[in-house]
Every structure is written in structure tokens, then in C-alpha cells.
Structure 1
């Protein structure tokens, strides 16, 4: 079936189509393969969206450098999106999880939340113990109809926010290494008329118990928020009471403490 074109700036249609035709997948193996291809495609998309601010980020523009390696407290491990430099070590990492199909028994998406959260906890800990200044961001993708299955319990989307909220919120390098600096839920359309359209939700916000969030972000706004989290750690804002704010990009040197040449 020919699907109408979606807005490429706020759509993951190309990534979903690369992963394959969803309706034909019936086995656990085929669904697992679908998730792996989709995650790699999304990793390239995120790296490309971030590349202007983070030159050298992996994967590269052609998708080379998938699951690039970075040092952890337990040796070298793979990372979906990896911005590392000689000066910083690991500066920014983005971990992507996709939960794409309802559980046949419950009709909900919640079956794999605990597993995904456990994987994220281990990943955050491994990187942060060795590199506490690294900024780690998690993005968990769900079909947007996860917002529509609430009955007595919250929707699958609402439950995702409840679970993954406790995996985010690491504001300082001294905070719990098991946490990510920020966690977002990506909600993508599977309906043919709007296939691939996507919005993002910050798990720190209050979700609706049932239905779709009204204060979700676009892809561009998400990229801005990831960059803001990185800047908070590496280029913090300094506010003057009577002047414009400054972005601190280098260690400050007190001019009264500068040592003249030849001074002991």
C-alpha cells in the first residue's frame, strides 16, 4: 500500500520502513530483528540531528560506526549514539530502546518495561562510574496507540512514564550513577494516514492517565533539549543581576591571580 508522505522533519517513517513491514511479523525472532534494525536506523537519525553541535558523533552520516565502543567501569561497551573526544572522554551518549508490539496475552505494551529499565540501569552505571561527567540520555520508542489502552490501569504510555521517570534526573556528576541525565518517550504513528509522525515526552512531566499528551515535543525540540542537558554539564549558564547571562565554556581565571612572567 502506498503511504502518503509525512513531514520528514518530524517523522521516523523512513526508519520504520527500513525496519520492514510490521503486519507480517508474527514470531519473537522476526520482531526482535525488526527492533534491532529500527534501533540502528534511529541511532543514525539521532546522530545526524545532533551532528552540527557534536562533530564526529557516531554513527556517521552514512550509518557507519553503529554501536561504537566507549570505556565503562567494566571494560569497553557498545553505545547507540556516541560523542567522545580526547579532552572529554565520553561527552554525550544516547541510548535507544524500542518496544514496538503489544503483548498477545494482555494487549498492552508494558511486558518489556522492566527488562528495558534493567538494561538502562546497567548502561548508566557502567558509563557513569568510570566517566561521571558524561551526559547520558535515554529515548524509549512506543507506537502512539500506547496512549489509548487505559482501562482501570493507566495507559501503556502512562505506565511507561511511571516506570522510566525513576531512571532519569541525574543533575550532577556526583548523583547516582544508575541514572540518566534525561529520559524521553518517543511516540510514533503506525496508522497509514500519518505513518511515522513522532512526538516526544519528557518523563519528568505529568502524563495523562489516558490519552495522548498535549505538551509533547517535536524532534527539533528534543534535539534542543538534549543539547541543553549537555550544555548544563559542560557550558553552564552564569547569571548577572544587572547584565545579560553568560555561557561558561572555559575554566575561569581570576585576573587578580594571574602570575606575571618571571614572577615567583
Structure 2
């Protein structure tokens, strides 16, 4: 695992974009797992700048981690819409190569199974971008999620819905109660995990995920057992890590060769 602490969110975004660019150069038909939320935003901004400078993304497939159940794709806060405006357009991706679970399907459970099967047919994600929730969740895998779980329908906790209410005008009741999410087993099958976290409000979750016990109660602790992980943090998100993780510090341990 490589952990690096950077001065601010912009620096995290630039460093994370460099990881994606390196992967794309080595694998032009990259299968890229994309996350929503605030932490990956600077990454997409920095990557979009590289695209404007000539980076070729024509061969990239993008697969989203999750989607709300019950929101039509046209809803501005559906992840179909969020991915379209923050990833597909800015990164110059072919919309036909960008995939998001169908949370508006009549049978969301069947939709989740279909998504898992379609992703498996690609051979799996090469590089998975991840954020981390305040309670240590990954995608919508809340505490207690099984380590081997696959794409499925899950209920959202009150805390997660409260955190996401900012995207729904502050109205927690407008936030859907369920989502389709890739499971921890699906996420863990990616060749390389790229975890980005910024802000003091993520510090406790980051410390628990990186230095606490591997536990179902901290889903993001799966990064401790994955063979290839890059963790990029700003100083605020790293505030509860050991003092050796000052700005500009990095630690390298358990690094495996890329698949």
C-alpha cells in the first residue's frame, strides 16, 4: 500500500490524475471504476485538463460504483446524471462506454445482478477510484457489509442519507432510502485501488480504515488486504494518522506487481 499526504485537495487531485494517466498510457483500453461524491472531484478536474491538453481517452470504459434506487436517470442527482456531467463529458468519454447501474428498473435486484454480470464480462476493473464515507463505507457498502458481497440492493443508513442531503437541497427526506452498489467483493477484485480523501471530516474514517483492525464494521479497511492500493490524502484527512505522515510523507508497504 502506498500512502501519500499532500497539502490540499487540488494537490490530491493532481496526484490522483497522474495515477490514472499512467494506467491509461500502459493500458489504452483501460477499464476505469469511477466514484461520485466530493473527494474525487479534484481528480476529475485535473484529468479533464490533461484531456484538453491531448490525452486520448477514446479506449476507456468507465463503470460507476453505485446508483440510487427509484431515481430516473434524468434526475440531476441520479448518478447517471452526475457521472455524465463530471466524468463522461469532461473526460471526453464515449457515452456508450460509460456504465451506471439502473436504479429505476422495475426489478432493481435483477438490475444489480445484470450489472455484476456485465462488469465481469469485461474482465474486471483495472483501476478503481474510491472515496470513503464518514462511517468508513465504500460506495454504499455500509458497516456490516460482507467482505465477499457483490453488486446488490442495499438500504442506506440515516447518517449516509443525512450526509447526502446536501445534494438534495438539504432535505434528507428527498434522499432515496436504497441504492444499488457494487459489493466489497466486486470492488476488491479490481486490479488497483485508488483511494482519495480530503477534509477533516474524513480523518476518523481514514485512520480506522488504514490503521485499525480489518473489520466488517469499517468496510474501507478492505484496502489493507488488497495487493495494490494507492491512498492519496490531504493534510486534514490525514490528521489522525501517525505523526510520520506529515505533508509530503509517503509510506510504501505490501506493494504487488500490477495484474
Normalising by structure 2, we get a TM-score of 0.28
Normalising by structure 1, we get a TM-score of 0.28
Q: Which has the larger radius of gyration?
A: 1
